[in-house]
A and B are shown apart, each in its own frame.
Chain A
Amino acid sequence: MIKAALHGKLPELECMEDALTSTVFGRLRYLPPEDVLVPFLEKAVCYSQDRITLKQYLYMHGINLAMYKNVSYYFWTHNQIYGEPDLVLIFNGLSSCIKDLLLLVEAKYKYSKSGTGENDQLMRYYLAINQQINYFRQEAIADFSGIIGPIIYLTELEAATEIGESEEAIKNRVEKELKHPIFHLHWQKLYSVLEGTQINEQYKTVIVQDLLSYLDLTNLREFTGITPPSPNILGIVHSNLPLFFAGPITVTETTGYFQGLPNLNISLEKYCFYRG
């Protein structure tokens, strides 16, 4: 689908967050997590704790995402009570020394939370993973017994207010102390992570290039200057001729609207309308 989007075959997808989530994370799962996924997620920040990064926060809790070599991706997996978060990631420890870690990612693109107040979306997902995880239909999540980590709210726009409201809702309705604060991650951060990725294998290069092009298409990249106009645009703008001028003006001499009339043998015998 990413190729269809890159070739302009699916313009409607440019505004759809599910397509974005699917395209990006669907591709990232083919790369080792330490290449892109981990450095990307680690850039998430927590507003309620002085913008500490996810990397720093997890480190304080004895967790280093770089230690995980295998990640399972679960898209739109349904919790029978609290709905369907966009993505659940299970980082597999693969050894008895490293416990599995679960992170929930809720993605937004051009829209905000679908549910506030009592029905706050992030509060529901907090409940889903912290209190009712066994109600997920996906067995790997329902049976999860590792570390439940923070929720990551992944957006294009600023989200401090939304996150603040969600955390307040959790404190008022669920528990006074959150197990983990909610982290905010900008889609735009992914572009620089992809650009900085060191890769040698051809297949990885293709994946990264496709993602870079896709993020460019969806304008999810950081500011890198205002592009100056190309010479052909300057030519159009500076032209002395009107924009829609196609060539030399040709003039056709005519004696009337209907060119065929002089050839008709119509003789005038008397005036039709003149009586004088």
Chain B
Amino acid sequence: MSSKGQEILSVFRYVQQVFRETQRILLKMDSLMGPEWKPVYGNRITKEVTSSLVDPERWLVEAVFRIYESTNPLVNKGLTITFWGDIEEPVITAGMLVYSDIKSRDHWDLWNSWFTWNPYEETKMSLDGQVVKYKPDEGNNINEVKVFSLPLINMENDIDVESKIFRPLEKLKP
């Protein structure tokens, strides 16, 4: 075994560790959300990881999502954890989306609500947990967005997950 090889292996092991710790956040959220809120996508937590030779950077999970719906399927709450991309550090985003039509609902709607469709450019990089509220543009199947983000590294334990993510999320109403 070469030390260089072991170091490279340790990089992959580290990424796996981050994923294991991320799973704990998602499971904690499941527990906090309770039986009233059911995961929209079952146990699926990511997509667009490619199996293609030509896109090696996408061989690695970029982000995970956990979206819930309650008795009213038009109201979704959830979170995404984005590890890399056009960001300065891993981000945890949580929020509520009120749909007019869920037929064209997408796994990344919450993340896009924060990062892509957000009309308040200045809020995108200020990961301070402030809730951004807006109504997306015409033609979008989402009537209302209330979303906030924090650096993932701010989550230091279960109590942080509850106080910084779950409690603010619980307060969001249509």
Query: Which B residues are in CB contact (< 8 Å) with A221?
Result: 24
B interface with A by C-beta (< 8 Å): 2, 4, 7-8, 10-11, 14, 17-18, 20-25, 27-28, 30-31, 34-35, 38, 43, 90, 152-153, 155-158, 161
- A233 contacts B11, CB within 8 Å? yes
- B21 contacts A223, CB within 8 Å? yes
**A236 CA to B31 CA, complexed, in Å:** 37
- B156 contacts A224, CB within 8 Å? yes
Contact with B along A214-233 (1 / 0, CB 8 A): 00000101111111111011
Q: A219-B20, A224-B24 are in contact. List 10 more A-B contacts (CB 8 A).
A: A157-B30, A157-B43, A186-B31, A221-B24, A223-B27, A224-B156, A224-B158, A226-B22, A226-B152, A246-B2
- B34 contacts A222, CB within 8 Å? no
Query: Which B residues are in CB contact (< 8 Å) with A235?
Result: 7
- B7 contacts A236, CB within 8 Å? yes
* Distance (whole angstroms) from the CB of A163 to the closest CB of chain B: 8
- The chain B residue sitting closest to A237, CB to CB, is B11
**A225 CA to B18 CA, complexed, in Å:** 9
- A226 contacts B10, CB within 8 Å? no
Query: Which B residues are in CB contact (< 8 Å) with A237?
Result: 11
Give the number of residues in A that approach B within 8 Å (Cβ atoms). Answer: 29
- A225 contacts B27, CB within 8 Å? no
Query: Which B residues are in CB contact (< 8 Å) with A226?
Result: 18, 21-22, 90, 152-153, 155
Query: Which A residues are in CB contact (< 8 Å) with B17?
Result: 227
* Distance (whole angstroms) from the CB of A228 to the closest CB of chain B: 8
How would you classify the secondary structure of chain A's contact residues: helix, strand, loop or mixed? loop
Which residue from B2, B8, B158 sits with its C-beta under 8 Å from A223? B158
**A71 CA to B90 CA, complexed, in Å:** 47
**A257 CA to B157 CA, complexed, in Å:** 61
Contact with B along A148-181 (1 / 0, CB 8 A): 0000000011101100100000000000000000
| Given known A161-B35, A164-B35, A233-B14, contact A223–B7 (CB-CB < 8 A) | no
- A47 contacts B35, CB within 8 Å? yes
- The chain B residue sitting closest to A236, CB to CB, is B7
**A226 CA to B18 CA, complexed, in Å:** 6
- A223 contacts B155, CB within 8 Å? yes
* Distance (whole angstroms) from the CB of A263 to the closest CB of chain B: 36
Is A121 an interface position by the 8 A CB rule?
no
